[in-house]
Amino acid sequence: MRWRFAALAAALVAALVAVVLVAPAGWVVSAGAAPGCTVLQVRNIGPGSVSALYQVVLPAADSTGLGMLEYRMNALGYSGGYSGSQGLVYGMAERGPFGRFPDGAHVVALDRVGRAHDLGPVRAAARPLTAPKAGAIKGNRWYVGDGGFLYAVDVDPTSATYLSVLSMTAIQPWHGPFALDDFDVDPVDGELYGVSMTHHGLPAVVRIDRGSGRVSKLADAPGLPPSGYGSVVIGPDRALYVTANQVGGLYRVSRDGSVTRLATMPPMSSSDAAGCLRQTPPPSPPPPQPPTTTPSTQPPLSTTLAPTPTPTRPSQSSTAPTPSRIPPSTLPTSARSSPAPPPEPGAYAPPTHEPGADHAGHDTKEKRRWALAMLLLLIGGSAAVRRLR
């Protein structure tokens, strides 16, 4: 008997395996593709040239040229929460259509299609910003690197200190082993990260403390060529996407220093980027149209009633008039039966199966067969129990 129980258990396991194999696809969790990120990038080819503006999709590295700006820009940062549904990219322009600004760097706001608006110089208490290179925005604070200092600029347009310097921190150590060209804010821990060339000739992933200005190395990135690195953007995967300015090339750099080359581009003197840009919401769907009422071709429903008797003119005799027909019943209309309207072509409901209707003549035979089967099962079960004892 034990082998029979083993066979039964094996059959149950096989059935469970079959159920798992034919389970719906919704039960299976598959790894999705890396999320995309669209950024605005400025590329400065020569020392005195204005910036070329591009829209770049990461990690695919698809670039679309948006034209030449009237400004030479750097230190870009994206503010997604203060400038309407699309957000604005803030950048520092050291020169405009008529040359270098005499009152220091101007703030230029860009929308996602490249329209630029000069907002004037940054209001700095100690010294004007002249040629900022690095920039990133966290909340309503724009962190800008210029001349060995880290500035925090207010970018909340509802604030009385809008576009004013709120703090200035010395980057430590500025003359140490790092030369930092750009950084971005990690949305998870709020710190600044970039790729810097060290004095040993190797690029490295570095972190900048926003409060103290301290720069610390996280990992060497030997897969990167020697170059200054701008256009630092931290993607949704928390990897750093950077551009090798002097040698050309777009790279993905992990925090552990592993490198993936994404695209080749021409060399440039400097570059900067900001994102990920908020996706433009799709247009609202049009309101649903009211259903069109089509006149029915069916004859109107009617209630069959007894015909109304035709009144008969009374005779001139003295006897009471006798109706020619029996008057209709005085029952209410709702109590009378009405014929159902004929069904429309193609609108037939599926046939309703009445239980037992197809086997009315076989009830007795079926009952006998089931009784015999149950009796055999009882006899077999009793015998199995006796053998187990």
CB of 6 closer than 8 Å to CB of 245: no
pLDDT digits (tens, 9 = 90+) for 93-133: 999 988 899 888 999 999 988 999 999 999 986 778 888 99
Question: How much is the pLDDT for 124?
Answer: 82
Between CA 364 and CA 275 the distance in angstroms is 80
In this prediction, residues 306-321 reach a mean pLDDT of 47
Most confident region among 67-76, 129-138, 169-178, 280-289 by mean pLDDT: 67-76
Q: Report the pLDDT averaged over residues 73-89.
A: 76
pLDDT at 46: 85
As a whole number of angstroms, the distance between CA 135 and CA 79 comes to: 12
366 alpha carbon, distance to own chain's centre = 60
Count of Cβ atoms closer than 10 Å to residue 251 Cβ: 24
pLDDT at 34: 52
Residue 6: what pLDDT? 42
Secondary structure element (H or E) that encloses residue 115, with its range: none
pLDDT over 60 (residue 41) = yes
pLDDT at residue 371, rounded to an integer: 65
Q: What is the pLDDT of residues 237-272, one digit of tens each?
A: 999 999 999 999 999 999 999 999 999 999 999 999
Give the integer Cα–Cα distance in Å for 150 and 167.
8
121 forms beta bridges with 106
- Residue 366 CA to residue 362 CA, distance in Å, equals 6
Question: Looking at 62-71, 75-84, 265-274, 367-376, which range is the least confident one?
Answer: 367-376
Q: In what order do the strands lie in the sheet with 250-253?
A: 229-234, 240-244, 250-253, 259-263
Nearest to 195 by CA among 237, 231, 146: 231
- Residue pair 267/247 in contact by the 8 Å Cβ criterion: yes
278 confidence band (pLDDT: 50, 70, 90)? confident
Q: Which domains does the chain have, with CATH numbers?
A: 37-275 (2.120.10)
Q: Cα separation of 6 and 190, whole Å?
A: 60
Element (H, E) at 10: helix 2-21
The 10 Å Cβ neighbour count of residue 196 is 22
Is residue 225 predicted with pLDDT exceeding 50?
Answer: yes
Residues whose CB falls within 8 Å of the CB of residue 337, separated by 6 or more in sequence, listed in order: 304
- H/E segment holding residue 19: helix 2-21
Q: 298 falls in which pLDDT band (50, 70, 90)?
A: low
- Structural contact between residues 217 and 204, judged by C-beta atoms closer than 8 angstroms: yes
DSSP 21-46: HT--GGG---PPPPPPEEEEEEEE-S
Q: Give whole-number Cα distances, 73 to 70, 139, 161, 175, 385, in Å.
A: 9, 22, 23, 25, 91
Bridge partners for 180 per DSSP: 196
pLDDT digits (tens, 9 = 90+) for 315-361: 444 444 444 444 444 434 444 444 444 444 443 334 434 444 444 44
Which tens digit of pLDDT belongs to each residue from 363-387?
555 556 656 666 767 776 666 656 6
Contacts of 144 (CB under 8 A, 6+ apart): 75, 77, 92, 129, 132, 134, 135, 150, 151, 152, 153
Is residue 63 very low, low, confident or very high in pLDDT (cuts 50, 70, 90)? very high
Average pLDDT over residues 190-214: 91
* pLDDT for 178 beyond 80: no
Residue 229 has pLDDT above 90, yes or no: yes
Which pLDDT value is given to residue 66?
Answer: 95
Per residue in 14-40, pLDDT (tens digit) is 433 333 333 333 222 222 345 789 999
User: Which tens digits make up the pLDDT trace of 43-58?
Assistant: 999 888 899 999 999 9
User: Locate tokens 């950084």: which residue?
Assistant: 183
pLDDT tens profile 135-169: 999 999 999 999 889 999 999 999 999 999 999 99
pTM of the model: 0.64
What is the pLDDT, as a whole number, of residue 193?
A: 97
Secondary structure of the chain: what % helix, strand, coil (to 5)? Answer: 15, 35, 55
